[in-house]
Structure formats: C-alpha cells, structure tokens
Amino acid sequence: MSIYDFKVKAQDGSEVALSDYKGKVLLIVNTATGCGFTPHYDELQDLYDAHKADGLEILDFPCNQFGAQAPGDDEEIHSFCTGRYGITFPQFSKIDVIGDNAIPLYKWIAENTEFDGFGKGPMAMVMKGVAKKMDKNYKNNGAIKWNFTKILVDREGNIVARFEPTVPMKEVMEAVKAAL
C-alpha cells in the first residue's frame, strides 16, 4: 500500500485522490485552530509560499481530538485559517487521526511511522505529560500524539520524516528543502 492509494475528503466535501499529488513533496499536518501550536500556520504558509513552485504541497487536516482545540465546522475552521493566517494550501475536512474513527490515511501513517520523542525543553516536558495521560504506551507506537504533527512524504510517495509539534519549524523547513 502507498500514500497514493488513499482518498480523502476535501473541505468542500468532495473526494480527493492523493494520487493527484504524485510527483510532489507533501507535508501532511493535523491541525487545530485553538492550540498553542496554531502559530505554526504562519511558518507553514511561509514555507508553502517559498516552495510551492518547486513542487511542495501542504495538506492540512483539522482535527478536534486533542484538547477539543478545533471546534467549529469545516467552513468556520477554513475562515479562521484564511482570515487569521492567510493560508492558501489545501485544507481538508475535519477528521479523526487516532482511534476507531481515524481515517484510513492516518491509520496507515501510524503503522508506517515511529514516534521519536518530543525533544527537550519546557514544551517537550509538557507534551510528555499530556501524551502519557492519553496513552501510557505512547512512546512505543506510531499513533499521532498531538496537533501539528507533520509527516513529510517524498516525490515517490515514501514517508521520509515525522515531526512532532515540538520540533522547531526550522528543522521541518530544512527537511522539506532537502526533499525538494
């Protein structure tokens, strides 16, 4: 199975085949509008502006599973993101990324990535505590742990990196540039 085998629901409700993105570098992100990491939207948009012409696509999947930080329907979320952060990259319908109702794409991501920790620093310590409350075995599985986890996919559809939300965006940007 490959990333190109999946179909997802666009923000307008239509079905989108990820095979439409063949040959592109993808950064797949589960997002939330009311999260401490929401300002990542600014850096994601900067990255998109700088590299869309080079073949980068950022695929934004709003998710309300972590701290109920993505309230509202698809239209409200989209209006917030375009109005507050000026996003122009594709935003999809709100989804679940963990649990029984997780969409097949995210079930596949969890099976094909590893959690590599939250790093060091104050936010890493906070996230460790939060993740442990949600899943005592969080260190040993590929389930998404929080909002703004980023999955980097190369032009051939291979997952090449996973970035937890505590990873500095500078590292994400460097990896994206290398993949391009």
**Catalytic residue positions, numbered:** 35
Enter the DSSP assignment of 14: -
Helix axes 40-51, 169-179, angle to 10 degrees: 20
Question: What 3-state class would DSSP assign to 54?
Answer: helix
Element containing residue 17 per DSSP (H, E): strand 15-17
